């Protein structure tokens, strides 16, 4: 088993010279994302404070609980700087709760819940049922090549509608959208970070590299 050394990540002391990618570490499975990104050569740091956004070229918002991430991001003064960074073009990849945070509109939100926005989509929280209705399935994702993507759904959201600025990347067998992109933003209803499916992270790192070279 590989042990992730979050202490060194906290200190921003990643050894690699790859793209500098932050993982929002307020709540949720940020360690799993940090592990995947580190394996792919990114220079990973955990983000909990606004100033930590200055040092990164891309950000991952993990799975977890969007209601909690929303509350903590506002309590820590991160929500507004995050919105500004997204508007300024920071590449951001959100999985599950992270996709909810990136959606312009959220259905079945709790009272007062806010998202950061950026993705021109409407998502519905918990669209596939409760934790014990979690499931795995293979998805065609043409943007990632011919081999199917094995996708793990855990209380995930569905993308109920995709606005004109966003593009669907994958649908499940009943035709509902579960992966989207829009410029530098990427979102999936499922969790590639937990099952060794690295292609979404690679796809995201390509966005980060491209944005860094044009900045
Ligand atoms: N696995 C997940 O990230 C679940 C998301 C959760 N249902 C939410 O609303 O935030």
φ/ψ bin of 15: left (φ > 0), alpha (ψ from -120 to 50), beta (otherwise): alpha
Q: In the prediction, which pLDDT does 52 show?
A: 97
Instruction: Classify residue 127: in a domain, yes or no.
Output: yes
Structural domain contains residue 93 = yes
The string of DSSP codes covering 33-81 is HHHHHHHTT-EEEEE-SGGGGGG-SEEEE-SS-HHHHHHHHHHTT-HHH
Which of 95, 25, 92 lies closest to 56 in space, CA to CA?
Answer: 92
Claim: this prediction has a pTM higher than 0.90: yes
Ligand 1 atom closest to the Cα of residue 67 is 10
For residues 15 and 44, the answer to whether their CB atoms sit within 8 Å is no
Q: What is the CATH number of the domain that holds 161?
A: 3.40.50.880
| 93 CA from centroid of ligand 1 (Å) | 15
Q: Is 64 annotated as a binding residue?
A: yes
Domain of residue 112: give its range: 6-214
pLDDT band at 17 (very low <50, low <70, confident <90, very high): confident
Q: What is the ipTM of this complex?
A: 0.96
Over residues 105-156, the pLDDT tens digits come to 999 999 999 999 999 999 999 999 888 999 999 999 999 999 999 999 999 9
User: Which protein residues touch ligand 1 with a CB less than 6 Å away?
Assistant: 63-66, 96-97, 100, 125-126, 154-156
| pLDDT above 70 as % of the chain | 93
> What is the count of structural domains for the chain?
1
Q: Is 191 a member of any domain?
A: yes
- Ligand 1 center to 95 CA (angstroms): 9
Q: Which two tokens stand for residue 88?
A: 């300024």
If one counts every other C-beta atom within 10 angstroms of the C-beta of residue 26, the result is 20
Interior angle at CA 154, CA 153 and CA 157, nearest 5: 75
Q: Is residue 194 part of a domain?
A: yes
Q: Is 201 annotated in the active site?
A: no
- For residue 1, being part of any structural domain is answered with no
pLDDT in tens, 51-89: 999 999 999 999 999 999 999 999 999 999 999 999 999
**Which two three-digit tokens encode residue 145?**
């090549």
Q: How far, in Å, is the centroid of ligand 1 from the Cα of 28?
A: 9
Residue 108 lies in a domain: yes
Is 32 a known active-site residue? no
SS3 content of the chain, % helix, strand, coil (to 5): 35, 25, 40
Q: Which atom of ligand 1 approaches the CA of 29 most closely?
A: 3
């Amino acid at each position: 088993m590989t042990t992730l050394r979050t202490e060194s990540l906290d200190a921003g002391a990643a050894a690699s010279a790859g793209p500098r990618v932050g993982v929002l570490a307020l709540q949720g499975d940020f360690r799993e994302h940090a592990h995947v990104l580190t394996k792919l050569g990114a220079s990973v740091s955990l983000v909990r404070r606004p100033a930590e956004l200055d040092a990164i070229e891309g950000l991952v918002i993990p799975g977890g609980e969007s209601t909690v991430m929303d509350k903590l991001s506002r309590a820590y003064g991160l929500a507004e700087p995050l919105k500004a960074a997204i508007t300024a073009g920071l590449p951001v990849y959100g999985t599950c709760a992270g996709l909810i945070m990136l959606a312009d509109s959220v259905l079945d939100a709790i009272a007062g819940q806010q998202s950061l926005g950026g993705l021109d989509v409407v998502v519905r929280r918990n669209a596939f049922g409760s934790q014990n209705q979690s499931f795995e399935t293979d998805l065609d994702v043409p943007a990632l090549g011919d081999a199917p993507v094995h996708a793990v759904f855990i209380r995930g959201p569905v993308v109920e509608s995709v606005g004109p600025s966003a593009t669907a990347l994958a649908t499940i067998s009943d035709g509902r959208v579960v992966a989207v992109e829009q410029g530098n933003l990427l979102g999936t209803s499922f969790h590639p970070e937990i099952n060794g499916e690295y292609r979404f992270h690679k796809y995201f790192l390509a966005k980060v590299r491209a944005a860094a070279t044009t900045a």
